[in-house]
Amino acid sequence: MNNNDSSRIISCTTDGFISDKKDLDKTIPAQDDLFSSLYYETRAKLTGSGALLETKYFESEGVISWRTRGQLGLSGGIKALTGYQRQEPIEQTIDKVNKSFNDTKQITFIQTSLRSAKEIYQLGGHSTIKLSERIFNLKFDNRREITRELNGYHQTKPFYDKSQSTQFRLISSFGNGRYRTYSPISSTQCKGDAYLSLTRRMIVRVLRSGDYLSDTRLSFSRGEISKVLSEIGLKTSLNFISKQKNKPVILNSIPLTLKTLACLEKLKVIFPFFNERILLR
């Protein structure tokens, strides 16, 4: 199919692929193709239909593709974002993806899960929500060869042979260590002041960026940030503040509890312009 000039393969994974080839659901086995013939016949016996392929989604507007497991349909028909399964309007996801292409090529978000049975057994407590700060990586993975630019995007084609593919895959791993779709910055074990730890990180980033605090951009030193945190009951080290450098403020990330709300309201007393609701989930 890759060599068929009448159609294009955008992505192939274990159980599916994205293509603009017409009438795929009407494909029948070639007479000399033993494997697909056996599959066709077996499926016909089990389901009453011998179809080799079935259509899962149809995308009418177009597809943005940046890696094997990273495709986004412009009308919402396709949403293959391994590592970023967020419940949000498709327009919002498309906007985030497009903006990140022109910026850091990353989307930072809060992933929600439940504490594991092992963690509860070892540390005690209950099956409560666990929040992990994650980075969704949109960098091109060099699994296909870039050919030409069209309307601000680049088209790609399959590599000619294994050696060519290996060379480009090696290039994509430079400076990244082990290449991953997403990687955790930090996680919170939901015991004690876990949510306050997340609150501390976000407030440090707000103070470092100087955004959201007044109608003009402000600038604070590490010592000034440490003093503000002490005043609202979140003492921290200068080293912790340094680690938050260049990390984004994640809006609507902090769970609403009595303790987190108390800290944010104290911050609002110091900075009356600050809207604490922008940080609350």
pLDDT tens, position by position, 37-52: 898 899 889 988 778 8
Query: Where residue 178 falls among pLDDT bands split at 50, 70, 90?
Result: very low
For the chain, what is the mean pLDDT? 82
Least trusted range by pLDDT, from 79-88, 120-129, 214-223, 258-267:
79-88
Give the percent of the chain with pLDDT over 90: 20
Q: Bridge-partner residues for 72, per DSSP?
A: 64, 79
pLDDT of residue 169: 79
Whether the pLDDT of residue 64 is over 60: the answer is yes
- Section 166-180 average pLDDT: 65
Query: Where residue 57 falls among pLDDT bands split at 50, 70, 90?
Result: confident
Cα–Cα dist 64/12, whole Å? 15
Of residues 202 and 25, which shows the higher confidence score?
A: 202
Whether the pLDDT of residue 188 is over 50: the answer is no
pLDDT of residue 1: 57
Least trusted range by pLDDT, from 27-36, 235-244, 255-264:
27-36
pLDDT of residue 183: 38
pLDDT of residue 192: 53
Side-chain half-sphere CA neighbours of 45 within 13 A: 5
Of residues 172 and 130, which shows the higher confidence score?
A: 130
Whether the pLDDT of residue 112 is over 60: the answer is yes
